Chain A
Amino acid sequence: MNTPLFNHPPVVQLPVLQLPVLQVAKRAWYPSVALIPDVLDDENLLAQVRDRQDHHAEAAFQTLYRRYAGAVYSLVRRLLRDQRDIEETVQDVFVRVWQRAGDYHSMRGSASSWILTIAHHAAIDVLRRNQVRSTAPIDDAELERSAVTPDLSSETVERVVIERAMNRLDGVERHLIELAYFEGLSHGQLAQRTGMPLGTIKTRIRQALQKLRAELGAG
């Protein structure tokens, strides 16, 4: 994967001001982004947070927040209904990222999966504590529209790619993944909801994740 195919060594530049054209509107909320070295990758930023070297740690953490706030907020919002719970949980997620940056190890996964795992876990905790489920279904129509949207951001492409991968699962596998991940059902609840034996659920979910991994080239 890292085979050097080009002769010139990579050089990382740190531009003082760099505003993506198509993300200018979003970035208008964050004028101080120009002062943050946002070309650093997530793993390096977590290392700075872990090392706690005064304002570098804070600046690095702020960059991580701005990169992941949208994804974390959207995921938590997908699982929870109460706006106060959503905002509290998002805050808790990032506080945990700050507190536990020292626990992150690249051998155990990407920084992205680490942060989103924290987010999903936190939301599930609240969901089960409140015993209230979000009834907002996955908007399949919106996902279909996104396949031909003129705004070809990598975010849109990603959603289309994942949706296609999900469509390649059989109906049972896709249903189980959606119930477990997006509805927060536990192992036992999945069995009650679907009428399937626990052993079958374990096997089908594992198979589904393996199929998605192959389809997405993930990990």
Chain B
Amino acid sequence: MRDEGKTMTQDDPRDLIALYALDALEPDEARRVEAYLERHPEAWEELRAHREVAARLARSVPQVDPPPHLEARVMERIRALGENRALETNPPANPATIPFTPKPQPKPSPLRWIAPAVALAASVAAIVLAVQNARLGAELEAQRALGLESAQIIAAGARSLPMKTPDGQAEVGRVLVAPDGRVLFVHTLGAVPQGKTWQAWYIQASNPAPVSLGVFDGSSVLKRIPDGVAALGVSEEPAGGSTAPTLIRGLANI
């Protein structure tokens, strides 16, 4: 679907990187950009940045759970690939006798032993589910109240900043920092381990000692920070909290 009269070869491939990141190029244009990237590795920085934004756009789509059977089909296909690879490394005397099927019939899984362990885990999970459901009602009520105030700080122009693992490799949540000092911590660390608690902290540029903002046990908490805060964090502590962070799970620079 070329634009009539347009000579695509006149486009500088560098100018097409943003479109490439959004998959908005025709195949020949995309190949030109890819060839350009091979010759100019420095251009990857722009592509990387655009793709991170595109990934956030993807995340903005309201999430719908996939059908449960999809997982089994995916696992079946990748296991079949593994078996095909074994054939490639050990070629038979007459390859023509081995039919190639992109989606072969299921074969006995080498992981059959895992089924009893999965059944046991399911039983344990069901017991934990019953216990945690009792907490769910109270948690949701607290979240409802929290949600209203959080919507207000979002509307008040709060900055959204990533909260990452201490090594900076993975994002484990966000902090929303409002101009008036309110801070919403939201993490994806899951439930706090039994006997432990989450604890929120801040650190000021003028003082490297972390200051506690208190403990919490949900996936989010709203706090207020003073001026001059340089970083925020969430740690995992013994019940009741600690005077200094023990196991840091998330850090955010502001």
Hey, which bits of chain A sit against chain B, CB under 8 A? 1-8, 10-11, 13, 15, 17-24, 26-35, 41-44, 52, 55, 58, 61-62, 65-66, 69-75, 77-78, 87, 90-91, 94-95, 98-99, 106-110, 112-114, 116-117, 119-121, 124, 139, 142-143, 146-155, 157-164, 166, 177, 180-182, 184-192, 198, 201-202, 205-206, 209, 212-213, 216-219
Q: Does B50 contact A (CB under 8 A)?
A: yes
Q: In the complex, are the beta carbons of A6 and B245 less than 8 A apart?
A: yes
B253 partner, pick from A3, A43, A206, beta carbons under 8 A: A3
Chain B contacts for A182, CB-based, 8 A:
57
- Expressed in whole angstroms, the minimum distance between the Cβ of A5 and any Cβ of chain B is 5
- Expressed in whole angstroms, the minimum distance between the Cβ of A120 and any Cβ of chain B is 6
Q: Which of B1, B62, B188 has the most CB of A within 10 A?
A: B62
Chain B contacts for A41, CB-based, 8 A:
165, 169-170
Given contacts A152-B146, A162-B60, contact A91 B74 (CB under 8 A): yes
- Expressed in whole angstroms, the minimum distance between the Cβ of B225 and any Cβ of chain A is 14
- Expressed in whole angstroms, the minimum distance between the Cβ of B19 and any Cβ of chain A is 5
Once the chains are docked, how many angstroms separate the CA of A73 from the CA of B104? 23
Q: In the complex, are the beta carbons of A5 and B210 less than 8 A apart?
A: yes
Chain A contacts for B119, CB-based, 8 A:
31
- Expressed in whole angstroms, the minimum distance between the Cβ of A201 and any Cβ of chain B is 8
- Interface residue ranges of B102-158 to A (CB < 8 Å): 110-111, 114, 117-119, 121-122, 124-125, 128-129, 132-133, 135-136, 139-140, 143-144, 146-148, 150-151, 154-155
Q: In the complex, are the beta carbons of A61 and B78 less than 8 A apart?
A: yes
Given contacts A20-B191, A34-B124, A98-B81, contact A139 B62 (CB under 8 A): yes
- Expressed in whole angstroms, the minimum distance between the Cβ of B96 and any Cβ of chain A is 25
A186 partner, pick from B25, B191, B235, beta carbons under 8 A: B25
Once the chains are docked, how many angstroms separate the CA of A31 from the CA of B68? 12
Q: In the complex, are the beta carbons of B144 and A19 less than 8 A apart?
A: no
Chain B contacts for A139, CB-based, 8 A:
62
Once the chains are docked, how many angstroms separate the CA of A139 from the CA of B159? 24
Chain B contacts for A209, CB-based, 8 A:
18, 21-22, 49-50, 53-54
- Count CB-based A-B contacts (< 8 Å): 342
Interface residues on B, range: 35 or more
- Expressed in whole angstroms, the minimum distance between the Cβ of A92 and any Cβ of chain B is 9
Listed A/B pairs (25) with beta-carbon separation below 8 Å: A18-B191, A19-B129, A19-B191, A24-B128, A28-B129, A65-B74, A69-B66, A72-B66, A94-B74, A110-B55, A113-B51, A117-B55, A143-B60, A143-B62, A147-B154, A148-B148, A151-B143, A154-B220, A158-B56, A180-B24, A182-B57, A213-B52, A217-B162, A218-B49, A219-B52
Chain A contacts for B26, CB-based, 8 A:
186-188
Chain B contacts for A184, CB-based, 8 A:
23
Q: Does B181 contact A (CB under 8 A)?
A: no
